[in-house]
Amino acid sequence: MAERNPDLAVPVALGPRLAPAFALEAWSRLLRFVRREPLTAACAFIFVAIVIVAIFAPWIATHDPLAGDPRARLQGPSADHFFGTDAIGRDVFSRVVYGARVSLLVGVAATLAGTVIGAIIGLITGYLGGTVDLLVQRVMDGIQAIPALVFLLLVAAIWQQGMLSVVVVLAVLIAPYVSRLVRGVVLSLREEAFVLAAQAMGARPLRIMMVHILPNTLAPVLVAASIIAGGAMLAEGALSFLGLGIPPDDPLWKTSWGAMLKPENLQYFERSPYLVLFPGAALALTVLAVNVLGDSARDRLDPRLRGTL
């Protein structure tokens, strides 16, 4: 399906002789892309910028995100502290910078894990059907019948709070959605001529699943995954907001945006609005960028779906 879109056609067989021409071609293509889809380009830019910020956080941050001067608490933005300081005098800008790592990592890791698990379950149950399908579907229903936040509250204190437990729990919550999606596609494909033909030719189920069915599920899964990633970031934010996500002042991960928005900071909101505005805006902007990019990916992968946003 991707071949339909000229922008995405990847020049695979380019020899070294053509390299400069390819660079020029890529550049003009980029320009065309920016001109034609400025918003996607802007969101791609934002997203890339956030990724860069996350990767190079130690070099971008101006201060140690954990250390603060208690005498310099709740200061407004200044040349020294771009986003001001928080209630115990830590640099908000540096904390927002480090928060990007947590959001992105949780979004990517939870989505990846949840999508892979969900896709495998959906593929198998959809193709095999029968009792296994029925049983697994009920388990999935069970997980989905508990609202995510309640589920997260329930598991919060079982393990040590931390990145791993947040990712695992979010993955468990994501898997049912993806498995449903994949199962639906598999069910509709199972009776398609090319699958029946493969079966008639004596192909083994595993081969049929991998070669004939899996590729066809990729587009909708990819699209759903991009939007799920936004949801996962929001969920991590909500969890940290309630004090149950990534521990604040974690030596490795430093802090998350949700943790910076904690309700206890409310009392300073009036005198230091930036304390809550910047991390919140960072989270909203990231989710926006991810959603728009997901949308754009959907348009490219499946033009029939274009324009639903």
Q: Under the criterion CB under 8 A, does residue 89 sit at the interface with other proteins?
A: yes
| Selected binder of other proteins within 6, 20, 202, 307 (CB under 8 A) | 307
Do residues 43 and 288 lie in contact, with contact meaning Cβ atoms separated by under 8 Å? yes
Give the interface segment with other proteins, choosing from 20-28, 52-60, 196-204, 232-240 (CB under 8 A): 232-240
Tell me: does residue 153 bind other proteins (CB under 8 A).
Answer: yes
Is 227 a binding residue for other proteins by CB under 8 A? The answer is: yes
Percent helix, strand and coil across the chain, each to the nearest 5:
75, 0, 25
Within residues 14-33, the interface with other proteins by CB under 8 A covers none
**Biggest distance spanned by C-alpha atoms of the chain:** 77
Q: Does 305 bind other proteins (CB under 8 A)?
A: yes
Is residue 267 involved in binding other proteins (CB under 8 A)? yes
Torsion of CA 134, 140, 144, 149, to 10 degrees: 160
Measured from the CB of residue 12, what is the shortest distance to other proteins in angstroms?
A: 29
Residue list 49-88, contact with other proteins (CB under 8 A)? 66-78, 84, 87-88
Q: Which of residues 99-128 bind other proteins (CB under 8 A)?
A: none
Task: For the segment 236-255, give every residue that binds other proteins (CB under 8 A).
Answer: 237-238, 241-244, 247-251
Which amino acid, one-letter code, is at 54? A
Spell out a b/e string for 167-206, using b for 16 or more CB atoms within 10 Å of the CB, else e.
Answer: bbbbbbbbbbbbbbbbbebbeebeeeeebeebeeeeeeee
* Cα distance between residue 305 and residue 171, in whole Å: 26
Crossing angle of the two packed helices 148-155 and 214-241, in degrees rounded to 10: 60
Q: Which of 186, 230, 253, 256 binds other proteins (CB under 8 A)?
A: 230
Grouping H, G, I as helix, E, B as strand and the rest as coil, residue 64 is coil
Give the shortest CB-263-to-other proteins separation in angstroms.
7
* Minimum gap (Å) between residue 92 Cβ and other proteins: 10
Residue among 35, 138, 191, 202 that touches other proteins (CB under 8 A):
138
**Binding flags for other proteins, 154-193, as an x/- string (CB under 8 A):** xxxxx--x--------x--xx--x--xx--x---------
The number of residues that bind other proteins (CB under 8 A) is: 103
- Residues recorded for the chain: 309
Tracing tokens 């928005």 back to the chain, one arrives at 261
